[in-house]
Structure 1
Amino acid sequence: MTAAEVAVLSALAPDHTLTTTEIQQASALTSWRTRNAVAQLNSRGLITPTRPPGRWRITPRGRTALAVKAPRFR
């Protein structure tokens, strides 16, 4: 897991439902790194799209991955 992916999961972790732009602002990543991290996390089932379209939410599996991986990036 990359630092960008951890940043995205951290932005979503407190049960936020955010757009990619809101994730970018919360995580201080570039738009490219944000989009890439969102795509990777979605493909692994760590985040999921929600309604309304264009919003993302962390999954239970994503919470577990964040709990295990985040300490490496602190």
Structure 2
Amino acid sequence: MQPGFDQILSAEALAFVADLHRRFNATRESLLAARTERQARIDAGEVPGFLAETAHVRTGDWQVAPTPD
């Protein structure tokens, strides 16, 4: 650790961040890779769509309450 860092983060805080990194770094990297791949497809002209499992929300008979007087 570089000089002065101990005044910003305690040993406990650093241990906490290190634990988070150990636990979640693989997932974080996987999500970032998926994000990069998706962005490449969008940059190539692919249009984002909706999830198939939420189609019922979009195809339902939507009605709203009338406006108040």
- Does the alignment reach a TM-score above 0.5? no
So what's the TM-score if we normalise by structure 2?
0.28
- Greater RCO (Cα-Cα under 8 Å, separation 6 or more): 1
